[in-house]
Amino acid sequence: QQYKGIPVWKSGLVTHSNLYGNLVSLTGKHIPTPSNLSITPKISADDAVNSAVTALLPDAQKGSISAESRLVIYADKNSFSPLLAWEVEIDASIAKQLVVLVNAKTGKLILSYNNIHAENTQGSGVDVLGKTRNLNVWQKGGQYFLHDASKDMYNSAEHDAFDPDETKGIISIIDARNEPADIENDPFPDLFRISSNSKNSGWLDEGVSAAFNLSETYDYFKEKHNRQSLDGEGGAITAVVRLSNNFDNAFWNGKAKMIFFGDGDKYSSSLDIVAHELTHGVTGTSSNLVYQGQSGAINEAMSDIFGEAVERRTYGSNDWAMGTELREIARSMDNPGSINSGLGRPYPSKMSEYENLSSDVDNGGVHVNSSIINHAFYQLAEGLSNSIGFDNAAKVFYRANTTHLLPRSEFSDLRRACIQSAEDIFGKNSSQLKATEKAFDVVEIYDTPTTPPPSTGTPSSSSDSVVTLFVQSGAIHIGRREKGLNNDKPVFLSDTKSNGQRPAVSGDGTLAAFITDENNVCLVETKTGKEECIGTLGVFHAVAFSPDDRYISIIFRDAVTKKAIPSITILDLEETDPDKDSKDYTLKAVQLDESSNTISSADAMDFNANSRYLVYDALNKVSLNNGKKREIWSIYALDLKTGDTIALVPPQNNANVGYPSLSNINANLLTFDIFDTETKINSVVIGDASTGKITKIAETTKYSLPSLTGDDKSLVYSVKDSSPTGYSLFIK
């Protein structure tokens, strides 16, 4: 995704088509297009680099650090407000490659993480198992070297396996000879080829283990997934052994495209650890999952999963334990809770045990929370009663990682990606797909409701109370409906007639507000029906409460034209200063490339869960370049903190989008109507602003004015029918 030529950080969409070219799914993340975002930075690239280095590496020596920067558009997953930022990549040392986002306006750091994918276990080391391994070595003159050019990715006509500048297609093992002394601060170490005077003896033990395990990992991906090396294009695979002195780690450096082994434990001898680190290379050249938070935990889990997969192929079975050859097991996939996570608690095995960690602790839990995904894979492979077998489970996760996931994918995205992958491989109604759904259910990673067949549905009961509008003797009134929505009579809350606008309900559910047929605003207690009407007759058009009951939003009418005016007034009930307790926001429109656009009015409004954003539908008056004019309803969001306007659902061709209603729990979840002006069919949908995914719930012939129930478990909407009032209320 780009905005005016600038990449939107780690955002994009992937379309998936069937054999006939028909679109079948859409995955990924996108940021809604801002109405007006400046792309001119106020701080320079050098200043951004200096800010990042000063904040994160205050003791670093100048000259030992190299950095690159570029402008990007960044938006937090819970925010509708994109901003301009500098993405700074800092090579601090061989074991520290920092990715930093710096606000291009203020110079403040937005986020940072170490992009070195490390295996954080207690100890590190060199493999001395005493086992004899078959090797493919390179002969030059009277010397032999640990360069494996036996794989079919190597083309002798194009490359020289001994030439360091022509390394494509080979597996190379290099020796750091216990340098550098200071792994955190010293620059890239000097590296030396491992050689011997005999092809059958005299080899460095650590090099032999690394050569064997890298070869087995390559063979697994080629044999099982037809992947030609880590990048899928026959790129070189390089390992460095004996890094530093008593260094207790192994890691993948994505920029150098090398795997590094310390000498404190048997890292290079542990096949699952070697395959784990190399799988970071597969991920880095496919989904490129950001190494932080949930995306980083998926990144780590993919490496654990395929570490076990390589172990299973080579030895005929796997033990579900990462790092069996090390002094201590790093993680258990079949029983995560049997291992201490390093936080004084066991590794989590499901989302109710998820560790919410700050970004400075394990990059936001990339290792700790990866065990939840590991356990989902174990369940799919052999834990469930309807498990599908290891190889089939690996096919599902491999396809998800290389086809459906994107850099900022989270756990719910992985669920959808794996379900889609199971459908791709085994079919829509396959047992493998059902097992995939069950595996994620077991670890409590759920998805939004799947799309049911288009219909009006069968009304069902609910213990939740629904405040809505009812028709009685030809007049519209506000009322409350409990259970048995089609059968029980409503409890009318007011004799005052409504103008038909959707009523607003306070966050605690005790108070409702509605606009009268005389365009006054009335407040009524939902339990007792006690009512109070306020304001001047004829001046109100719509009203909404924030979930925390702090704000009330109002759209006023022009007293002369009787039409809604193009502004929204926000009342702050906690503000004691009468000069600051209300604020007017002029409605702004997103400007379309082929036309000019203004907003003539807004209608339905709702606040998001954290009360920061007011989402509303608005009537766009579009003047096309050919002189024609159109009126289109779309959905906008108003940031009450910054005053920015965001086109949440921009104007669509041949569709009116309106009546948005948001969850009081999930800041990203909203429901709305999409009315096709050509087919005259209205779609009732649920959208997730964090992923861009829209799920259709039902089809109706008129606008349905949908709303989520207080617990987000159901959706209430109206359907035009032949009932005495002309409409019925439904819940799904």
Q: How far apart are CA 510 and CA 521, in angstroms?
A: 17
Q: One-letter amino acid identity for 274?
A: V
- The verdict on whether 277 is a catalytic residue reads yes
**Tokens 């959706």, residue located:** 715
What is the distance, to the nearest Å, from the Cα of residue 280 to the centroid of all Cα atoms in its chain? 19
Q: Give, in order, the Cα–Cα distances in Å from 530 to each of 128, 161, 517.
A: 81, 85, 19
Phi/psi at 159 (nearest 5 deg)?
-135, 150
Rounded to 10 degrees, what is the CA torsion of 340, 342, 346, 349?
-110
* Per-position DSSP letters for 683-721, written without gaps between them: EEEEEETTTTEEEEEEEESS----EE-TTSS-EEEEEE-
Residues 227 and 225: their CA atoms lie apart, in Å, by 5
Per DSSP, which regions of 104-205 are E strands? 109-114, 117-118, 138-140, 143-145, 147-148, 171-175, 192-193, 195-196
Asked if 285 and 230 count as a contact pair (C-beta separation under 8 A), the reply is: yes
Determine which one of 87, 179, 277, 353 is catalytic.
Answer: 277
Cα separation values, 64 from 50, 115, 188, 635, Å: 14, 18, 9, 50
Tell me how far the alpha carbon of residue 605 is from its chain's centroid: 27
> 3-class SS at 554?
strand
Looking at 609-692, which runs of residues are DSSP E strands?
Answer: 613-624, 629-639, 645-649, 655-662, 669-676, 682-688
3-state SS assignment for residue 198: strand
Q: Could you identify the residue written with the tokens 């009203």?
A: 543
Question: In Å, how far are 435, 481, 512, 705, 710 from 508, measured between CA atoms?
Answer: 39, 17, 10, 21, 10
User: What does the DSSP 8-state code read for residue 449?
Assistant: P
Q: Which of 498, 492, 484, 449 is nearest to 730 (CA)?
A: 484
CA–CA distance from 347 to each of 127, 264, 440, 653 (Å)?
27, 24, 17, 50
Assess whether the previous peptide bond of 180 is cis (omega < 30° from 0): yes
CB environment 336-355: b (16+ within 10 A), e (fewer): bbebebeeeebbbbbeebbb
Q: Please state the separation of Cα 20 from the chain's center in Å.
A: 29
Question: How far out from the chain centre does Cα 491 lie?
Answer: 42
CA gap 262, 248 in Å, rounded: 6
* From 117, 280, 367, 404, active-site residue: 367
The contacts found for 715-723 with CB under 8 angstroms, 24 or more apart, are: 715/671, 715/684, 715/686, 716/466, 716/468, 717/684, 718/468, 719/456, 721/456
Q: Which two tokens stand for residue 241?
A: 């052994």
571, 578, 576: which is closest to 556 by C-alpha? Answer: 571
Strands 521-525 and 83-93, bridge-based pairing: unpaired
Rounded CA separation 621/600 (Å): 7
Runs of H (alpha helix) within 112-157: none
Residue 367: active-site member: yes
Residues 599, 604, 610: CA angle, nearest 5 degrees? 105
Output the CA–CA distances (angstroms, integers) from residue 65 to 100, 137, 182, 636, in the order listed. 14, 35, 14, 44
Q: Which residues contact 356 (CB under 8 A, 6 or more apart)?
A: 365
User: Which residues does the annotation mark as catalytic?
Assistant: 277, 367
